[in-house]
Amino acid sequence: MTRRPAPPASTAPRPANSHPEGGRGARPPASTAAWPPLNPGLERLPPYLFVALDRKRAEAQASGRDVINLGIGDPDTPTPEFIVSEMSRAVRDPRTHRYPDGRGSVEFREAVADFMSRKYGVKLDPAREIVALIGSKEGIGHLPLALAGRGSTVCVPDPGYPVYAASAILAGAKPVAYPLREDNGFLPDFTARPLSGPAKRGLIFMNYPNNPTGATAPKNLFEEAVRWAGRRGAWLAHDAAYAEAFFGGVRPASLLAAAGAMERGVEFHSLSKTFSMAGWRVGWAAGNRRAVAALAQVKSNLDSGVFTAVQHAAAVALRKGDSAADAMRKLVSKRRSRCIPLLVDAGWEVFESSATFYLWCRTPGDMPSAVCSERLLDQAGVLATPGSGFGRRGEGWIRFALTVGEERLVEAMTRVARIRW
C-alpha cells in the first residue's frame, strides 16, 4: 500500500492577533490556509499593550526575579469595607439574581445623577441621560459602533489610551491621531492639523485628567471642543475615568458642564480608580440623550448589563464614599511626593501634573521608550510602560504607575536611580 505524502507545512505567518483554539492535546490545522478568515480589523490592531507587559512581568518572575510592577494602573488597595458589605448583602437577595435592567437600575442611575450634580454641577435626567457600563472601557469600546461606524472618522489623542483607536478600527471607522504636545501642556490644538482640516462626520475622543501624561484641562478647553464639534457636526466623547484622582484641591472640570455640551457630548466615568473597584467592572456614560440611547441600543444587542448587586454596591459608594475618595487622593499624593524627588535627583525629567496616579517621564538621553522599558526590567527589576505603546508621540517617554505600597515604590525608584544610562 502506498502512503500518500503529507502536504508541506505552510510557511505563511500566523495573523498577529490570532491563535488556534483548543485545550491540551488540541491540534491546529495542518495548514493555516485551511483556517476560515478573521475580521480584517484584527490585523490592524497592535498587540494590546498591557497584555504584553503582563507577559514580560510573568516571564521575569518565573525566572526568580523580584519584579516591582509599575506598569498597569490597577489600584493596589482593597475596595473599602462598606462597599464590600453592601455587595455581600445584595448578592444574597434573590431579586439581584435575574437579568439586570440594560440601562442600569433606577437606584444606580439616580445615584450617578446625584453624584454628577454634587461634584460637577451637572444636572442629568437619570431615565434618559445615563447608562450603566461594565466598566468605562466597555462603553468606550462600544461607542464608535453607536456614533461612528463604517466610513466615518474617529479622532483620537496621541499619546492616548489604546482603546480609542482600537474601538474605531473594530467599528470599521478610520482613527485619525491628533497630537498632544508637551509644549502645549498635552492639550489638543484645535487650530492645527489634523483637527483644523476638512470637516468629516464621526466623533472625537478626549481624556482629562489624561492617561498617560497626567495633564488636566481647563473648562474653556471643553467649550472650545464643543464649538469645534458643532462646526463639524461631530460627536464629542470625554473619558473622565481619572476625574476623582486629583491633587491640590482643584477638581477637574466635566465636559458636560461646558455650554452646549449636552447637545453633542457624552462623558465616561468609572468607579475603578476612585473606590479601588477595578475588578468589579462598573461605570457609566452620561450626556446627550440620543447618544446615550444609541450606546444603550448597542449594549442591549451585545451584553446583558451590570450585575444588579454590583450596581447596588456602586450606588452606595457614590452616595457615601466621599471619605474613601479623599483617602485615595491623600494616599496617591503621598506616594507622588516620595517618588518624584528620587527620580529628579537621579536626573529624570518628570512632567509636572496634578492628577492621576501616573508619573510621565522623559527617557534618559532620548532613549527609545521600549529600550528604556527593557533596561528598567532587566537592570532594576522594575516594570514600567513604554510611552510608544500609547502612540507615536509617546515615544521618548515612560509611564510609572504608583500602584504598589510606599515602601516598594521607594525601593523601585532607588533601583531606577542606580542605573547608569
Give the pairing of strands 358-362 and 382-383: unpaired
Q: What is the DSSP string of 312-360?
A: HHHHHHHHH-HHHHHHHHHHHHHHHHHHHHHHHHTT--B---SBSSEEE
Percent of the chain with pLDDT over 90: 81
Question: Would you say 318 and 243 are in contact if contact means Cβ atoms under 8 Å apart?
Answer: no
Identity at 86, one-letter amino acid code: E
Least confident of 46-50, 122-126, 322-326: 46-50
99 has a pLDDT exceeding 80: yes
Mean pLDDT, to the nearest integer, of 371-381? 94
Buried b (16+ CB within 10 A) or exposed e, 135-156: bbbbbbbbbbbbbbeeebbbbb
pLDDT band at 319; cut points 50, 70, 90:
very high
Q: What pTM did the predictor assign?
A: 0.90
Give CA–CA dist 179/324, Å, rounded. Answer: 35
Average pLDDT of the chain, as a whole number: 91
Domain assignments of the chain as residue spans, ordered by start? 49-72+323-418, 81-320
pLDDT band at 12; cut points 50, 70, 90:
very low
Question: Would you say 220 and 259 are in contact if contact means Cβ atoms under 8 Å apart?
Answer: no
Percent of the chain with pLDDT over 70: 91
pLDDT band at 4; cut points 50, 70, 90:
very low
37 has a pLDDT exceeding 60: yes
| Residue 235 burial (CB count, 10 A) | 26
Return all residues near 403 (Cβ < 8 A) that are at least 6 apart.
Answer: 69, 70, 72, 73, 74, 75, 76, 357
115 has a pLDDT exceeding 50: yes
Q: What is the pLDDT of residues 126-170, one digit of tens each?
A: 999 999 999 999 999 999 999 998 999 999 999 999 999 999 999
Give CA–CA dist 141/41, Å, rounded. Answer: 14
Q: What is the pLDDT of residues 39-87, one digit of tens each?
A: 888 888 877 666 777 787 788 778 888 999 999 899 999 999 999 999 9
Residue in this structure with the C-alpha cell 470625554, named with its chain if needed: 238
Q: Which of 50, 79, 104, 114 is nearest to 283 (CA)?
A: 104
Which pLDDT belongs to residue 53?
72
Tell me if the domain spanning 49-72+323-418 has CATH number 3.90.1150.10. Answer: yes
Least confident of 57-66, 166-175, 208-217: 57-66
Tell me if the domain spanning 81-320 has CATH number 3.40.640.10. Answer: yes
Residue in this structure with the C-alpha cell 526575579, named with its chain if needed: 65
Q: What is the pLDDT of residues 179-206, one digit of tens each?
A: 999 999 999 999 999 999 988 889 999 9
Which pLDDT belongs to residue 44?
87
pLDDT band at 30; cut points 50, 70, 90:
low
